[in-house]
Structure 1
Amino acid sequence: MQSTSSHHQHQAIDQLYSHHHGWLQSWLRRRLGNAADAADLAQDTFVRLLCSAPGEPLNFTTPRAYLATIANRLSINLYRRRSLEHAYLAVLAQTPEDLSPSLEHQALVLEALDEIDQVLALLPARTRQAFLMAQLEGYTQEEIASQLGLSVRSVQRYLARAFEECIVLASQSGQYE
Protein backbone atom coordinates (compact mmCIF):
# COMPACT_ATOMS: atom_id res chain seq x y z
CA MET A 1 0.00 0.00 0.00
CA GLN A 2 1.27 3.46 -0.90
CA SER A 3 1.98 5.94 1.85
CA THR A 4 0.02 9.17 1.85
CA SER A 5 3.09 11.28 1.05
CA SER A 6 4.05 8.92 -1.78
CA HIS A 7 0.50 9.12 -3.13
CA HIS A 8 0.62 12.94 -3.01
CA GLN A 9 4.00 12.89 -4.75
CA HIS A 10 2.62 10.75 -7.57
CA GLN A 11 -0.36 13.08 -7.89
CA ALA A 12 1.97 16.08 -8.08
CA ILE A 13 4.04 14.39 -10.79
CA ASP A 14 0.86 13.42 -12.68
CA GLN A 15 -0.23 17.05 -12.59
CA LEU A 16 3.25 18.23 -13.60
CA TYR A 17 3.21 15.74 -16.46
CA SER A 18 -0.20 16.76 -17.74
CA HIS A 19 0.62 20.48 -17.58
CA HIS A 20 4.21 20.47 -18.84
CA HIS A 21 5.00 17.30 -20.80
CA GLY A 22 4.01 18.81 -24.15
CA TRP A 23 6.01 21.96 -23.48
CA LEU A 24 9.07 19.94 -22.37
CA GLN A 25 8.94 17.70 -25.44
CA SER A 26 8.68 20.75 -27.75
CA TRP A 27 11.53 22.48 -25.91
CA LEU A 28 13.70 19.37 -26.27
CA ARG A 29 12.76 18.95 -29.95
CA ARG A 30 13.91 22.51 -30.67
CA ARG A 31 17.13 21.97 -28.71
CA LEU A 32 17.99 18.52 -30.05
CA GLY A 33 16.54 18.78 -33.53
CA ASN A 34 15.20 15.24 -33.21
CA ALA A 35 11.62 14.36 -32.27
CA ALA A 36 12.42 10.78 -31.19
CA ASP A 37 15.23 11.86 -28.84
CA ALA A 38 13.02 14.65 -27.51
CA ALA A 39 10.20 12.20 -26.73
CA ASP A 40 12.62 9.78 -25.02
CA LEU A 41 14.26 12.48 -22.91
CA ALA A 42 10.94 14.07 -21.95
CA GLN A 43 9.75 10.68 -20.73
CA ASP A 44 13.07 10.01 -18.97
CA THR A 45 12.75 13.37 -17.18
CA PHE A 46 9.48 12.33 -15.58
CA VAL A 47 10.79 8.86 -14.79
CA ARG A 48 13.72 10.53 -13.03
CA LEU A 49 11.23 12.56 -10.99
CA LEU A 50 9.28 9.44 -10.07
CA CYS A 51 12.43 7.66 -8.93
CA SER A 52 13.93 10.55 -6.97
CA ALA A 53 13.37 10.84 -3.23
CA PRO A 54 10.15 8.85 -2.93
CA GLY A 55 7.82 10.26 -0.33
CA GLU A 56 9.41 13.73 -0.40
CA PRO A 57 6.97 16.55 -1.14
CA LEU A 58 7.42 18.23 -4.50
CA ASN A 59 7.13 21.99 -4.31
CA PHE A 60 8.05 23.75 -7.52
CA THR A 61 7.98 27.49 -7.81
CA THR A 62 9.31 27.26 -11.37
CA PRO A 63 8.37 23.80 -12.70
CA ARG A 64 9.52 24.43 -16.26
CA ALA A 65 12.97 25.54 -15.13
CA TYR A 66 13.21 22.46 -12.91
CA LEU A 67 12.13 20.13 -15.72
CA ALA A 68 14.47 21.85 -18.19
CA THR A 69 17.39 21.37 -15.78
CA ILE A 70 16.72 17.65 -15.46
CA ALA A 71 16.18 17.29 -19.22
CA ASN A 72 19.35 19.25 -19.97
CA ARG A 73 21.40 16.92 -17.76
CA LEU A 74 19.85 13.92 -19.48
CA SER A 75 20.65 15.37 -22.90
CA ILE A 76 24.28 15.91 -21.86
CA ASN A 77 24.41 12.27 -20.80
CA LEU A 78 22.91 11.25 -24.15
CA TYR A 79 25.49 13.21 -26.13
CA ARG A 80 28.36 11.92 -24.00
CA ARG A 81 27.17 8.33 -24.47
CA ARG A 82 26.83 8.82 -28.22
CA SER A 83 30.28 10.38 -28.39
CA LEU A 84 31.75 7.32 -26.67
CA GLU A 85 29.86 5.03 -29.04
CA HIS A 86 31.12 6.95 -32.08
CA ALA A 87 34.72 6.83 -30.81
CA TYR A 88 34.46 3.07 -30.24
CA LEU A 89 32.88 2.50 -33.65
CA ALA A 90 35.62 4.60 -35.28
CA VAL A 91 38.24 2.35 -33.68
CA LEU A 92 36.32 -0.72 -34.88
CA ALA A 93 36.24 0.67 -38.41
CA GLN A 94 40.07 0.76 -38.35
CA THR A 95 40.30 -2.83 -37.08
CA PRO A 96 40.96 -5.55 -39.68
CA GLU A 97 37.81 -7.59 -40.27
CA ASP A 98 39.36 -10.85 -39.08
CA LEU A 99 40.21 -9.19 -35.71
CA SER A 100 36.85 -7.46 -35.24
CA PRO A 101 34.83 -8.59 -32.23
CA SER A 102 31.40 -10.16 -32.68
CA LEU A 103 28.31 -7.94 -32.62
CA GLU A 104 27.46 -9.34 -29.19
CA HIS A 105 30.92 -8.43 -27.88
CA GLN A 106 30.62 -4.96 -29.42
CA ALA A 107 27.29 -4.44 -27.64
CA LEU A 108 28.83 -5.55 -24.33
CA VAL A 109 31.77 -3.17 -24.79
CA LEU A 110 29.41 -0.27 -25.56
CA GLU A 111 27.39 -1.08 -22.45
CA ALA A 112 30.55 -1.23 -20.34
CA LEU A 113 31.79 2.07 -21.78
CA ASP A 114 28.46 3.67 -20.89
CA GLU A 115 28.66 2.37 -17.31
CA ILE A 116 32.25 3.57 -16.92
CA ASP A 117 31.29 6.95 -18.32
CA GLN A 118 28.48 7.22 -15.78
CA VAL A 119 30.91 6.46 -12.95
CA LEU A 120 33.49 8.93 -14.25
CA ALA A 121 30.82 11.62 -14.57
CA LEU A 122 30.13 11.30 -10.83
CA LEU A 123 33.77 11.84 -9.88
CA PRO A 124 35.15 15.28 -9.06
CA ALA A 125 36.93 16.84 -12.05
CA ARG A 126 40.48 16.45 -10.67
CA THR A 127 39.87 12.81 -9.72
CA ARG A 128 38.49 12.05 -13.17
CA GLN A 129 41.33 13.89 -14.88
CA ALA A 130 44.03 12.09 -12.86
CA PHE A 131 42.38 8.72 -13.54
CA LEU A 132 42.14 9.32 -17.28
CA MET A 133 45.73 10.57 -17.45
CA ALA A 134 46.92 7.41 -15.73
CA GLN A 135 44.72 4.93 -17.58
CA LEU A 136 44.47 6.39 -21.08
CA GLU A 137 47.65 8.39 -21.43
CA GLY A 138 49.97 6.25 -19.33
CA TYR A 139 51.23 9.06 -17.11
CA THR A 140 52.98 8.10 -13.88
CA GLN A 141 51.71 9.47 -10.58
CA GLU A 142 54.64 11.87 -10.48
CA GLU A 143 53.87 13.14 -13.99
CA ILE A 144 50.20 13.61 -13.11
CA ALA A 145 51.16 15.51 -9.96
CA SER A 146 53.45 17.77 -11.95
CA GLN A 147 50.91 18.36 -14.75
CA LEU A 148 48.05 19.14 -12.33
CA GLY A 149 50.12 21.01 -9.74
CA LEU A 150 49.32 18.48 -7.02
CA SER A 151 51.27 16.41 -4.55
CA VAL A 152 51.91 12.77 -5.42
CA ARG A 153 49.89 11.84 -2.31
CA SER A 154 46.86 13.75 -3.66
CA VAL A 155 47.18 11.96 -6.99
CA GLN A 156 47.31 8.62 -5.14
CA ARG A 157 44.12 9.53 -3.24
CA TYR A 158 42.38 10.57 -6.47
CA LEU A 159 43.39 7.37 -8.23
CA ALA A 160 42.33 5.24 -5.26
CA ARG A 161 38.91 6.91 -5.25
CA ALA A 162 38.46 6.36 -8.99
CA PHE A 163 39.49 2.71 -8.70
CA GLU A 164 37.07 2.25 -5.78
CA GLU A 165 34.24 3.51 -7.96
CA CYS A 166 35.28 1.18 -10.79
CA ILE A 167 35.37 -1.77 -8.36
CA VAL A 168 31.90 -0.89 -7.10
CA LEU A 169 30.68 -0.73 -10.70
CA ALA A 170 32.28 -4.09 -11.50
CA SER A 171 30.75 -5.72 -8.42
CA GLN A 172 27.31 -4.30 -9.22
CA SER A 173 27.50 -5.63 -12.76
CA GLY A 174 28.37 -9.09 -11.44
CA GLN A 175 31.91 -9.31 -12.77
CA TYR A 176 33.27 -10.55 -9.44
CA GLU A 177 30.63 -13.16 -8.68
Structure 2
Amino acid sequence: MNRDTQVELTQLYINHKGWLSHFLKKRLNGSHQAADMVQDIYLKILVSGKVPPKDYARQYLVSTAKNLIIDKNRRWRIEQAYLESIQNLPEETHASPEYRLQIIETLIEVDVLLHKLTEKARQAFLLRRVEGLSYQAIATQLNVSLSSVEKYVAKGLQACAMAMMESDL
Protein backbone atom coordinates (compact mmCIF):
# COMPACT_ATOMS: atom_id res chain seq x y z
CA MET A 1 0.00 0.00 0.00
CA ASN A 2 1.46 3.34 -1.01
CA ARG A 3 1.77 6.36 1.28
CA ASP A 4 -1.19 8.24 -0.28
CA THR A 5 -3.49 5.26 0.24
CA GLN A 6 -2.33 4.94 3.87
CA VAL A 7 -3.13 8.61 4.44
CA GLU A 8 -6.56 8.22 2.79
CA LEU A 9 -7.35 5.16 4.91
CA THR A 10 -6.25 6.93 8.09
CA GLN A 11 -8.40 9.93 7.22
CA LEU A 12 -11.36 7.66 6.41
CA TYR A 13 -10.96 5.99 9.80
CA ILE A 14 -10.71 9.29 11.69
CA ASN A 15 -13.67 10.83 9.87
CA HIS A 16 -16.05 7.88 10.05
CA LYS A 17 -15.15 5.65 13.00
CA GLY A 18 -17.54 7.38 15.42
CA TRP A 19 -20.74 7.26 13.41
CA LEU A 20 -19.88 3.80 12.02
CA SER A 21 -19.42 2.50 15.55
CA HIS A 22 -22.77 4.04 16.56
CA PHE A 23 -24.45 2.57 13.46
CA LEU A 24 -23.14 -0.89 14.36
CA LYS A 25 -23.98 -0.65 18.08
CA LYS A 26 -27.64 -0.22 17.11
CA ARG A 27 -27.51 -3.40 15.00
CA LEU A 28 -25.31 -5.63 17.15
CA ASN A 29 -25.48 -6.83 20.72
CA GLY A 30 -23.00 -4.52 22.33
CA SER A 31 -20.17 -2.12 21.92
CA HIS A 32 -17.43 -4.77 21.85
CA GLN A 33 -19.07 -6.45 18.85
CA ALA A 34 -19.42 -3.07 17.16
CA ALA A 35 -15.76 -2.27 17.84
CA ASP A 36 -14.70 -5.63 16.42
CA MET A 37 -16.84 -5.08 13.33
CA VAL A 38 -15.39 -1.58 12.78
CA GLN A 39 -11.93 -3.12 12.83
CA ASP A 40 -13.04 -5.87 10.43
CA ILE A 41 -14.41 -3.27 8.01
CA TYR A 42 -11.20 -1.25 7.97
CA LEU A 43 -9.13 -4.43 7.72
CA LYS A 44 -11.15 -5.43 4.68
CA ILE A 45 -10.44 -2.03 3.10
CA LEU A 46 -6.77 -2.31 4.02
CA VAL A 47 -6.45 -5.77 2.48
CA SER A 48 -8.25 -4.68 -0.70
CA GLY A 49 -6.07 -1.58 -0.99
CA LYS A 50 -9.07 0.34 -2.31
CA VAL A 51 -10.19 3.30 -0.23
CA PRO A 52 -13.64 4.52 -1.30
CA PRO A 53 -13.95 8.05 -2.68
CA LYS A 54 -14.84 10.64 -0.03
CA ASP A 55 -18.26 11.31 -1.61
CA TYR A 56 -19.26 7.64 -1.24
CA ALA A 57 -17.40 6.72 1.94
CA ARG A 58 -20.48 6.40 4.17
CA GLN A 59 -22.41 4.43 1.58
CA TYR A 60 -19.46 2.09 1.12
CA LEU A 61 -18.92 1.65 4.86
CA VAL A 62 -22.62 0.97 5.49
CA SER A 63 -22.76 -1.51 2.63
CA THR A 64 -19.63 -3.28 3.87
CA ALA A 65 -20.99 -3.32 7.43
CA LYS A 66 -24.31 -4.81 6.34
CA ASN A 67 -22.55 -7.50 4.29
CA LEU A 68 -20.29 -8.39 7.22
CA ILE A 69 -23.30 -8.62 9.55
CA ILE A 70 -25.03 -10.94 7.08
CA ASP A 71 -21.87 -13.05 6.82
CA LYS A 72 -21.55 -13.16 10.61
CA ASN A 73 -25.16 -14.26 11.04
CA ARG A 74 -24.85 -16.87 8.31
CA ARG A 75 -21.70 -18.23 9.93
CA TRP A 76 -23.41 -18.37 13.33
CA ARG A 77 -26.39 -20.28 11.87
CA ILE A 78 -24.08 -22.76 10.16
CA GLU A 79 -22.06 -23.29 13.34
CA GLN A 80 -25.23 -23.81 15.38
CA ALA A 81 -26.65 -26.28 12.86
CA TYR A 82 -23.39 -28.24 12.85
CA LEU A 83 -23.13 -28.30 16.66
CA GLU A 84 -26.78 -29.35 16.91
CA SER A 85 -26.21 -32.14 14.39
CA ILE A 86 -23.35 -33.65 16.42
CA GLN A 87 -24.75 -33.13 19.91
CA ASN A 88 -26.46 -36.55 20.02
CA LEU A 89 -23.46 -38.44 18.66
CA PRO A 90 -21.30 -40.40 21.09
CA GLU A 91 -18.50 -38.26 22.47
CA GLU A 92 -15.79 -40.54 21.09
CA THR A 93 -16.97 -39.68 17.57
CA HIS A 94 -16.61 -35.92 18.12
CA ALA A 95 -13.89 -34.24 16.11
CA SER A 96 -11.11 -32.20 17.66
CA PRO A 97 -11.76 -28.44 17.96
CA GLU A 98 -9.35 -27.83 15.07
CA TYR A 99 -11.11 -30.31 12.84
CA ARG A 100 -14.51 -28.88 13.83
CA LEU A 101 -13.27 -25.47 12.72
CA GLN A 102 -12.20 -26.95 9.37
CA ILE A 103 -15.62 -28.57 8.97
CA ILE A 104 -17.40 -25.31 9.78
CA GLU A 105 -15.18 -23.37 7.36
CA THR A 106 -15.93 -25.93 4.63
CA LEU A 107 -19.66 -25.71 5.35
CA ILE A 108 -19.44 -21.92 5.06
CA GLU A 109 -17.65 -22.22 1.70
CA VAL A 110 -20.35 -24.60 0.47
CA ASP A 111 -23.05 -22.21 1.71
CA VAL A 112 -21.44 -19.29 -0.14
CA LEU A 113 -21.19 -21.44 -3.26
CA LEU A 114 -24.85 -22.47 -3.06
CA HIS A 115 -25.99 -18.88 -2.53
CA LYS A 116 -24.41 -17.95 -5.86
CA LEU A 117 -27.06 -20.11 -7.53
CA THR A 118 -30.58 -18.91 -8.18
CA GLU A 119 -33.12 -19.81 -5.49
CA LYS A 120 -34.74 -22.53 -7.59
CA ALA A 121 -31.41 -24.00 -8.65
CA ARG A 122 -30.25 -24.09 -5.03
CA GLN A 123 -33.50 -25.70 -3.88
CA ALA A 124 -33.43 -28.28 -6.67
CA PHE A 125 -29.80 -29.14 -6.01
CA LEU A 126 -30.35 -29.56 -2.26
CA LEU A 127 -33.56 -31.53 -2.72
CA ARG A 128 -31.72 -33.91 -5.03
CA ARG A 129 -28.35 -34.20 -3.31
CA VAL A 130 -29.35 -33.86 0.35
CA GLU A 131 -32.95 -35.07 0.46
CA GLY A 132 -32.53 -37.64 -2.32
CA LEU A 133 -35.75 -36.69 -4.08
CA SER A 134 -36.35 -37.78 -7.65
CA TYR A 135 -36.29 -35.23 -10.42
CA GLN A 136 -40.05 -35.66 -10.86
CA ALA A 137 -40.71 -35.08 -7.15
CA ILE A 138 -38.55 -31.95 -7.24
CA ALA A 139 -40.38 -30.68 -10.34
CA THR A 140 -43.69 -31.17 -8.57
CA GLN A 141 -42.51 -29.53 -5.35
CA LEU A 142 -40.99 -26.51 -7.11
CA ASN A 143 -43.78 -26.32 -9.68
CA VAL A 144 -41.37 -26.38 -12.62
CA SER A 145 -40.76 -28.68 -15.56
CA LEU A 146 -38.63 -31.80 -15.36
CA SER A 147 -36.13 -30.29 -17.80
CA SER A 148 -35.82 -27.21 -15.54
CA VAL A 149 -34.96 -29.46 -12.60
CA GLU A 150 -32.32 -31.22 -14.70
CA LYS A 151 -30.81 -27.85 -15.62
CA TYR A 152 -30.92 -26.60 -12.01
CA VAL A 153 -29.21 -29.70 -10.64
CA ALA A 154 -26.63 -29.54 -13.42
CA LYS A 155 -25.88 -25.91 -12.51
CA GLY A 156 -25.37 -26.95 -8.89
CA LEU A 157 -23.04 -29.77 -9.89
CA GLN A 158 -21.15 -27.47 -12.23
CA ALA A 159 -20.73 -24.88 -9.46
CA CYS A 160 -19.41 -27.57 -7.11
CA ALA A 161 -16.98 -28.87 -9.74
CA MET A 162 -15.69 -25.35 -10.41
CA ALA A 163 -15.23 -24.71 -6.70
CA MET A 164 -13.32 -27.97 -6.29
CA MET A 165 -11.02 -26.99 -9.15
CA GLU A 166 -10.41 -23.54 -7.59
CA SER A 167 -9.76 -24.73 -4.05
CA ASP A 168 -9.22 -27.76 -1.90
CA LEU A 169 -12.86 -28.39 -0.90
Provide the TM-score with structure 1 as the length reference: 0.79
Of the three residues 25, 49, 56, the one matched with 1:29 is: 25
Any conservation in 2 of the 1:45–1:70 contact (CA below 8 Å)? yes
Going from structure 1 to structure 2, the CA distance change for 1:11 and 1:139 (only over 3 Å counts) comes to farther
The DSSP-based 3-state class of the residue aligned with 2:168 is coil
Cα distance between partner residues in 2 of 1:157 and 1:48: 36
Residue number in structure 1 paired with 2:144: 150
What CA deviation, in whole Å up to 9, does each residue of 1:21-69 have, x standing for no partner?
22212211221113333223223323444555x67x8445453233212
The DSSP-based 3-state class of the residue aligned with 1:122 is coil
Using the TM superposition, name which of 114-123 and 10-19 deviates more.
Answer: 10-19
**5 Å matches for 1:106-145?**
106-145=100-139
Displacement after TM superposition at 1:145 (Å): 1.5
The DSSP-based 3-state class of the residue aligned with 2:124 is helix
Provide the TM-score with structure 2 as the length reference: 0.82
Indicate the RMSD between aligned Cα atoms, in angstroms: 2.6
Q: Percent identity?
A: 34
Runs of 5+ consecutive residues of structure 2 not aligned to the other structure: none
Displacement after TM superposition at 1:14 (Å): 3.8
Corresponding pairs, count: 169
Runs of 5+ consecutive residues of structure 1 not aligned to the other structure: none
What CA deviation, in whole Å up to 9, does each residue of 1:1-21 have, x standing for no partner?
96xxxx766654443222112
Quick one: which amino acid aligns to residue 79 of structure 2? E
Cα distance between partner residues in 2 of 1:123 and 1:69: 22
Quick one: which amino acid aligns to residue 18 of structure 1? I
Quick one: which amino acid aligns to residue 44 of structure 1? D
The DSSP-based 3-state class of the residue aligned with 1:29 is helix
Using the TM superposition, name which of 103-112 and 34-43 deviates more.
Answer: 34-43
Cα distance between partner residues in 1 of 2:113 and 2:80: 19
Check if 1:171 corresponds to 2:169: no
Cα distance between partner residues in 2 of 1:159 and 1:60: 44
Going from structure 1 to structure 2, the CA distance change for 1:141 and 1:65 (only over 3 Å counts) comes to same
Of the three residues 55, 61, 65, the one matched with 1:71 is: 65
Quick one: which amino acid aligns to residue 141 of structure 1? Y
